[in-house]
Amino acid sequence: MSSLVSFVQSAGRVRPACLPALLTVWTLLAVPEARAESYGTELTIDDEADLRALHEDGVLSREELETLWELLRTGVDLGTATREALYMLPGLTWAQVDALLAYRASAGGAVAPADFVEAGVLTAARLRRLRPFLVQEEREAWGLSGRLRLLTAYAAADALVPPVLLQAQVDGPLGFRGGGVATLTRRRLGPVHHDSRRRALVAELPTVAPRLPKLHVEWEGEHASLLVGTYRLGFGQRLTLDTTGRPTPEGFVPDEGFLVPGAPERRCVLSGAGACSGEEAQGRVTPDFGAMEGFRGVVGTVRGQVEGVALALTGFGSYQSRDLSQYELLDAKTHKAPEVLAVPTGQRVPGAARFVSRTLPDVFDELAGGGHVSVGLSPRTRLGMTTWGAWPVWAVEGAVLDFRESARYPQGGGFGAVGVDAAWGAGPVNLFFEGARSFAGGAGRGFGALQRTVLGDRARELELTLRHYGRDFANPYSRAVSASDEFEGLRASNELGARLRYLHRTADGAWRLTGLVDVWTQPPGGEVSGVAQLRTSARVDYSGVPELQPSVWVEHRNKDVGRNGPGLCFEGTDCGGEQYRVAGRVRLEATESLTLAVQYQHTVAGSGRHPSGFQVDGRAVLDVLFRPLPSLRLHGRASWQDEDLSENTRLTQSLRQSLEVAWEVLPSLSARARYELALDLKSPEGSRTPSESPQHLFRLELEGRF
């Protein structure tokens, strides 16, 4: 009680607008029984479309979305998955994972998912939520299975052939599997050259061309595994090396990821004399499918045991061609960003037109290699060491190029990192640690450390993460816990912080409460004095009545705790304002085949355009899911967004409506079609930019399994 009194007294010195968010966060942190998990919401999904909707609503971060996409594509086998792989599943604590492993060991044979429910390890409701992320069927030893997906997108205003993506996955006998991704691009620039006479880079205009960005063959045995092709890998606490996006990486995975086209972009890619005119200058076009660049080469792992000690050794080598934004390049001779001129179609020399905000293809080739060794003293006690290095080989002849300070990659040539990680657990306690040192060129020799403490059992869990990344810690392949802001193009750099995550689920599973507090600043000793930043959030979900499931969540972000008040901007790198957000969602299961969901989000943020107050944004969503047949799924969605409710001539004012139809034609053949209508609601009178014409967007996906 005394803590509550002191809190209220201190809150009296805070502006009234802060009080609701702070009181809610304190309430969640005061709950005696709580736990944290990898994802901030209770997931009830069927496919990738549901994940995209959660991302659009701000429930899932981009990193969480990518991780869950991968889980949907690959699946997790409850009967064989490792401790780290099981923890990636949404809704499981470390204690629940250990209970799954203990039951598997006691069963001594093949275990079906339903067996965990009968044994009381999982509830029936939890298993239903996990189903989309589990391996659906088993193959015989000499069987062959796989799937083939064809995706395309198109906008009514497109004057080009639509982008196309073909993805193939094959599981073969004797532990062999493989896959690949092929695309048809129309917006990718041509090869980049250097024009010594104009002292500029030159690239050809985009053309329609096929690409094969992802291809791999993998073999997995009892004590070893090997992959040739494209892959991602990570270890420990993701500090020294991680490109997987998984919360608990433990080696390599095939790289099959891709990005679906977003909203139509400006059709013209040029500016200056000789640039686009007429319809091309005003028109828009659907973007291409994107490919997330991982590593490309060979990676393998050898596992074994010596007198009860588990040993694992992973080694990798990669030679990957990488794209780069033109604004991440630096001309080493002029110390400026080089200009990128365009070669018009049918000509051999560049004109005066320049490219605008484009990604330059295959600017440099990256030669990388390294490895990881792990010693497991028990299922919960592990020591490991990771080391890797990379060397950029610039592919543009005649130019002396380097990375800019704001680029993701450090300047000065080769770069890499070396680090050690450790894990220990006993009873309700799990401890994790990783320390690393980066090296890059002349500077870039910095240290980073992360320590994570997890306390809890099957009913509750509390997680505290402490992090320290030096100003010179320049590691482009670190995905450790960090704030969303960047320092010289990197997130895990120049940061000292602590994050507390807390979640409580009642014994009957009716209530679920989550809370997060994250505070960080710059480490001492830098040129800039430390500015403390704060992010807090809290969420309450009720599912005691299956037919009606409400949720409420709040969030507060402060970019400078010591400097508050109206008129301080929030958006932008040089801003120090605040943002408050409150949202509510109600999910109604009207019948077994009809589900409705309504959501509203209200945001208040500092803005230089409102010197005496705050900018107020609004967003509302209506979801309708209807299953008239077991093989037919209709998903309708309407989303309204207004980025400044006080005026309608400047920022985003939009209404997006979509209808998606998913039909399982045969057990081995399914189709999915989506239509979206986007309307710009800005007033045509007084607007700084003309209102966009209505956009009609189409997506089609065909999937066959064998």
530-578 per-position pLDDT tens digit: 789 999 999 998 988 878 889 999 999 999 888 887 778 888 777 888 9
Between CA 481 and CA 555 the distance in angstroms is 19
Helix (H) or strand (E) segment spanning residue 41: none
pLDDT at residue 442, rounded to an integer: 60
Q: What is the mean pLDDT of residues 402-422?
A: 91
Paired strand residues for 259: 290
698: which 2 tokens?
């189409």
DSSP 244-269: S--SS--EEEE---EE---S-EES--
DSSP 305-346: EETTEEEEEEEEEEEEEEEEEGGGEEETTTTBPPPEEEE-TT
Q: Is the pLDDT of residue 27 over 90?
A: no
- Ranking 402-411, 455-464, 686-695 by mean pLDDT, the lowest is 686-695
Residues 6 or more apart whose CB falls under 8 angstroms from that of 278 comprise none
SS3 state of residue 571: coil
Q: Are the C-beta atoms of residues 415 and 438 closer than 8 Å to each other? A: yes
Q: What is the mean pLDDT of residues 484-513?
A: 87
Q: Is the pLDDT of residue 7 over 50?
A: no
Q: Is the pLDDT of residue 629 over 80?
A: yes
Question: Which of 14-28, 112-126, 296-310, 514-528 has maximum average pLDDT?
Answer: 296-310
pLDDT at residue 31, rounded to an integer: 35
The b/e string for 322-346 (b: 16+ C-beta within 10 A; e otherwise) is ebbbbebbbbeeeeebbbbbbbeee
pLDDT at residue 248, rounded to an integer: 86
Q: What is the mean pLDDT of residues 68-85?
A: 82
Q: Is the pLDDT of residue 396 over 70?
A: yes
- CB atoms near residue 432 (< 10 Å): 20
pLDDT at residue 23, rounded to an integer: 35
Interior angle at CA 386, CA 302 and CA 36, nearest 5: 95
Determine what percent of the chain falls in helix, strand and coil, rounding each to the nearest 5. Answer: 15, 45, 40
Helix (H) or strand (E) segment spanning residue 286: none
638-669 per-position pLDDT tens digit: 999 998 888 877 778 899 999 999 999 998 89
Q: What is the mean pLDDT of residues 188-205?
A: 85
572-582 per-position pLDDT tens digit: 777 888 999 99
pLDDT at residue 15, rounded to an integer: 39
Q: Is the pLDDT of residue 177 over 60?
A: yes
pLDDT at residue 628, rounded to an integer: 93
pTM, two decimal places: 0.85
Q: What is the mean pLDDT of residues 401-424?
A: 91
CA-CA-CA-CA torsion sign (484, 488, 493, 496): negative
Q: Are the C-beta atoms of residues 323 and 189 closer than 8 Å to each other? A: no
358-369 per-position pLDDT tens digit: 888 999 999 999
What is the average pLDDT value for the chain, to the nearest integer? 84
pLDDT at residue 69, rounded to an integer: 78
Q: Is the pLDDT of residue 617 over 50?
A: yes
Paired strand residues for 698: 154, 675
- Ranking 36-40, 82-86, 297-301, 386-390 by mean pLDDT, the lowest is 36-40
Nearest to 562 by CA among 592, 594, 530: 530
pLDDT at residue 597, rounded to an integer: 92
Tokens 């979509």 sit on residue: 658
pLDDT at residue 37, rounded to an integer: 39
Residue 671, judged by CB atoms within 10 A of its CB (0-12, 13-18, 19+), counts as middle
pLDDT at residue 254, rounded to an integer: 92
Comparing 591 with 11, the larger pLDDT belongs to: 591
413-435 per-position pLDDT tens digit: 899 999 999 999 998 899 999 99
% of the chain at pLDDT higher than 70: 88
Q: Is the pLDDT of residue 14 over 60?
A: no
- Ranking 131-140, 172-181, 230-239, 521-530 by mean pLDDT, the lowest is 131-140
Question: Which of 59-63, 74-78, 167-171, 296-300 has maximum average pLDDT?
Answer: 296-300
* Beta pairing, strands 309-325 & 359-378: antiparallel
Q: At what angle do helices 62-74 and 48-56 cross, to 10 degrees?
A: 170
Question: Which residue type is seen at 522?
Answer: Q
% of the chain at pLDDT higher than 90: 41
pLDDT at residue 475, rounded to an integer: 93
